[in-house]
């Protein structure tokens, strides 16, 4: 681009329209010809910045001679024959007699393309530094940090490469928002020149390291070099927090709220996954809103014809990731209306592996004779379908007319149909595959999602509250089966050797799912109208309490769920509940109590409500209940 001192073309000096008058100096044109026709801002350079961005360099010109001659013609016509000027159409008055009609518009683009450019969101300049005043607006968080200080927070190259490889091997398959080959190219470029790396991509790298160190033990041989340079104790939680803080620091230095790209969105989604897996989905609600707005600004919810296939698939995956994370929020806040996301008819990511997605298109592989094979995107596509089902269920539950039995049967059948598709794709003759452990882990994730939907769907129909008349024995059985299924998924991920590399999921999402199942199961077992609780069902509650006792120090999620499960266990251990004096059965009071509790904040729960002589006596004899 030419410098600011580039000499502008000298406009022609207009001749006087009549004798005896002094010639006037023609003013410098305010805009080049393309900008003037397209009504765009011009910086008066040669070529100007607008023409450079749109590829109009060869048309960028400030020649105003033609415009001067046109104005002279109009003045002469007006002075010589006013009637003729009135009779002429306005367009003819603006064109010289020698100019062909086909050349009346000198714009490089058709009129509808020019309006698209005018109404398009202004492009974000990614090359402007955080301290530059050319942005016109800055929004910094904290003091400015030099790139060298940020790079110094990274692990050694060998450890960083190991963490990245572990992420793509065991974490990314369950939340596949990144395109592996694209990240590979970016990582290679980063190693060649770290000083010139993009801050948003550096934030993504920090986020990957933060999440990965939470999924491996401190004694992992891949971290040996890391501990040699650290005199502090081997605390992976603190190390993960450091990397997560560094990721947010990179985003802040890059001013991600006003300047963002796909790497910014990918980094935010990985950070949200960290929060969901270690603390709880409710803590990521505000950050998810920022990610959603950035995705809309980047037009991830719609396909553009002028981008490559890889770019289009990356956008689709980010949008799919946003929908999947919203599913966790819908399970927590079932009265939240997410139908606006469903109304955005965004195409799902292509059912293809990373290696099949090229710049020019997607490779098609021949169909196997044994049936369709799962791809890296099969899980996300299934989860998006469940998100639409979940949104439909939440809309029925929160509506004024509530959920009717016909809708219950329809939605229940829809979930069951999805489960059959998973079985045919991920299981071998109805059993887990010993050759594809990743596929079975994905099947467990989908089943956990489905059984939570079952519980939300059937909960209004298994209650025995008087006057409602909504009890269905089938719904009670469904709640018991789904509650047991969620507890069994938790058991498998904790105990099965083939799922050891996915055991990190029990530190967050899977444990919260198990809590959901335990609460529903306890509610059903306390319904004495159907007989005493089954020994098998009580054993399932006891088993998860025993597992969480060992895991409570692994994550804040496990620490918050453990005391809740112990109280549920103590409630089931009471063989003879005290009689109620207000003519309301214990199971009805318990169902009302759990409906108004915030299970993710156990310290705020009024446990004293259930303290009685029999409960306290039984609890004291069996275990020490925390207060």
Choice among 81-90, 131-140, 145-154, 315-324 with the minimum mean pLDDT:
81-90
Contact in structure between 605 and 519 (CB atoms under 8 Å): no
Same domain for 350 and 430? no
pLDDT over 80 (residue 418): yes
- Say if 434 falls within a structural domain: yes
- Say if 7 falls within a structural domain: no
CA angle 285, 287, 290 (to 5 degrees): 115
pLDDT over 70 (residue 20): no
User: If we measure between CA atoms, which residue out of 462, 444, 368, 360 comes closest to residue 408?
Assistant: 462
Q: Which domain holds residue 37?
A: 33-60
- Say if 374 falls within a structural domain: no
State the pLDDT confidence band at 467, using cuts at 50, 70 and 90.
very low
pLDDT at 232: 60
pLDDT over 60 (residue 136): no
Same domain for 566 and 431? yes
Same domain for 351 and 209? yes
pTM across the whole model: 0.71
- Say if 550 falls within a structural domain: yes
**pLDDT digits 0-9 by tens, 205-218:** 999 999 999 899 88
Same domain for 182 and 291? yes
Tokens of 49: 């910045």
Same domain for 192 and 281? yes
- Exposed, middle or buried, 324 (CB in 10 Å: 0-12/13-18/19+)? buried
3-state secondary structure of 428: strand
Same domain for 181 and 250? yes
Distance CA 168, CA 294 (A): 24
**pLDDT digits 0-9 by tens, 244-296:** 999 999 999 998 988 889 999 999 999 999 998 888 788 888 899 999 999 99
**pLDDT digits 0-9 by tens, 52-62:** 877 787 788 88
pLDDT at 589: 64
- Say if 563 falls within a structural domain: yes
Q: Count how many domains the chain has.
A: 3
pLDDT at 278: 82
Same domain for 165 and 281? yes
pLDDT at 6: 44
Same domain for 436 and 328? no
- Say if 38 falls within a structural domain: yes
- Say if 331 falls within a structural domain: yes
Same domain for 243 and 168? yes
pLDDT over 70 (residue 487): yes
Same domain for 169 and 297? yes
Which one of 23, 41, 60 terminates a domain?
Answer: 60
Q: Taking all residues of the chain, what is their mean pLDDT, rounded to a whole number?
A: 78
Same domain for 312 and 451? no
Choice among 9-23, 402-416, 514-528, 553-567 with the minimum mean pLDDT:
9-23
| 528/328: higher pLDDT | 328
Tokens of 264: 């910014």
User: If we measure between CA atoms, which residue out of 149, 176, 110, 179 comes closest to residue 249?
Assistant: 149
| Phi, psi for residue 362 in degrees, rounded to 5 | -110, 130
- DSSP states along 501-544: GGGGGGGTHHHHHHHHHHHHHHHHHT-GGG-SPPHHHHHHHHHH
Contact in structure between 259 and 124 (CB atoms under 8 Å): yes
Same domain for 304 and 441? no
State the pLDDT confidence band at 71, using cuts at 50, 70 and 90.
very low
Distance CA 404, CA 409 (A): 9
- Exposed, middle or buried, 48 (CB in 10 Å: 0-12/13-18/19+)? buried
pLDDT at 423: 94
Tokens of 104: 């009346």
- Say if 25 falls within a structural domain: no
């Amino acid at each position: 681009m030419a410098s600011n001192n580039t000499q502008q073309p000298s406009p022609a000096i207009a001749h006087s329209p009549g004798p005896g008058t002094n010639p006037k100096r023609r003013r410098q044109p305010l805009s080049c010809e393309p900008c003037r026709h397209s009504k765009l801002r011009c910086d008066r350079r040669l070529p100007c910045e607008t023409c450079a961005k749109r590829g109009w360099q060869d048309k960028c010109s400030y020649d105003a001679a033609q415009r001067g001659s046109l104005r002279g013609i109009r003045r002469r016509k007006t002075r010589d024959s006013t009637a003729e000027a009135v009779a002429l159409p306005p367009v003819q008055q603006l064109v010289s007699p020698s100019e062909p009609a086909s050349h009346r518009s000198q714009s490089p683009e058709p009129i509808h393309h020019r309006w698209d450019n005018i109404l398009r969101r202004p492009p974000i300049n990614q090359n402007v530094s955080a301290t530059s005043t050319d942005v016109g607006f800055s929004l910094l968080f904290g003091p400015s940090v030099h790139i060298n200080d940020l790079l110094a927070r990274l692990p050694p190259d060998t450890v960083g490469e190991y963490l990245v490889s572990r992420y793509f091997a065991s974490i990314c398959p369950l939340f596949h928002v990144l395109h592996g080959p694209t990240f590979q190219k970016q990582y290679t470029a980063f190693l060649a020149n770290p000083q010139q790396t993009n801050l948003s991509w550096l934030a993504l790298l920090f986020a990957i390291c933060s999440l990965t160190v939470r999924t491996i033990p401190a004694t992992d041989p891949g971290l040996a070099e890391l501990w040699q340079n650290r005199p502090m104790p081997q605390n992976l939680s603190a190390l993960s927090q450091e990397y997560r803080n560094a990721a947010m620091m990179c985003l802040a230095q890059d001013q991600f709220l006003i300047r963002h790209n796909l790497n910014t969105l990918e980094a935010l989604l990985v950070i949200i996954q960290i929060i969901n897996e270690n603390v709880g989905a409710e803590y990521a609600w505000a950050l998810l809103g920022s990610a959603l707005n950035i995705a809309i600004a980047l037009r991830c919810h719609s396909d553009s014809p002028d981008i490559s296939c890889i770019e289009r698939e990356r956008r689709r995956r980010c949008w799919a990731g946003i929908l999947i994370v919203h599913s966790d929020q819908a399970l927590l806040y079932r009265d939240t209306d997410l139908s606006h996301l469903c109304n955005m008819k965004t195409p799902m990511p292509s059912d293809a592996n990373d290696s099949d997605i090229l710049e020019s298109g997607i490779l098609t592989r021949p169909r196997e004779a044994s049936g369709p094979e799962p791809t890296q995107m099969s899980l996300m596509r299934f989860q998006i379908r469940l998100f639409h089902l979940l949104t439909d269920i939440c809309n029925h539950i929160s509506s004024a007319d509530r959920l009717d039995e016909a809708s219950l049967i329809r939605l229940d059948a829809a979930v069951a149909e999805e489960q059959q598709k998973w079985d045919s794709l991920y299981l071998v003759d109805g059993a887990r595959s010993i050759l594809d452990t990743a596929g079975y882990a994905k099947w467990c994730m989908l089943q956990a999602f489905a059984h939570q939907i079952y519980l939300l769907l059937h909960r209004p129909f298994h209650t025995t509250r008087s006057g409602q008349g909504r009890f269905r024995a089938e719904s009670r059985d469904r709640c018991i089966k789904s509650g047991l299924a969620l507890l069994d998924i938790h058991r498998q991920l904790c105990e099965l050797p083939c799922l050891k590399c996915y055991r990190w999921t029990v530190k967050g999402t899977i444990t919260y799912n198990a809590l959901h199942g335990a609460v529903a199961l306890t509610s059903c077992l306390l319904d004495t109208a159907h007989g005493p609780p089954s020994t098998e069902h009580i054993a399932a509650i006891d088993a998860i309490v025993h597992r969480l006792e060992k895991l409570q120090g692994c994550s804040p999620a496990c620490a918050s769920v453990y005391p809740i499960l112990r109280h549920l266990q103590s409630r089931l251990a009471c063989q003879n509940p005290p009689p109620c004096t207000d003519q309301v059965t214990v199971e009805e009071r318990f169902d009302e109590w759990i409906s108004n509790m915030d299970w993710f904040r156990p310290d705020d729960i009024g446990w004293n409500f259930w303290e009685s002589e029999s409960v306290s006596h039984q609890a004291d004899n069996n275990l020490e209940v925390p207060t």
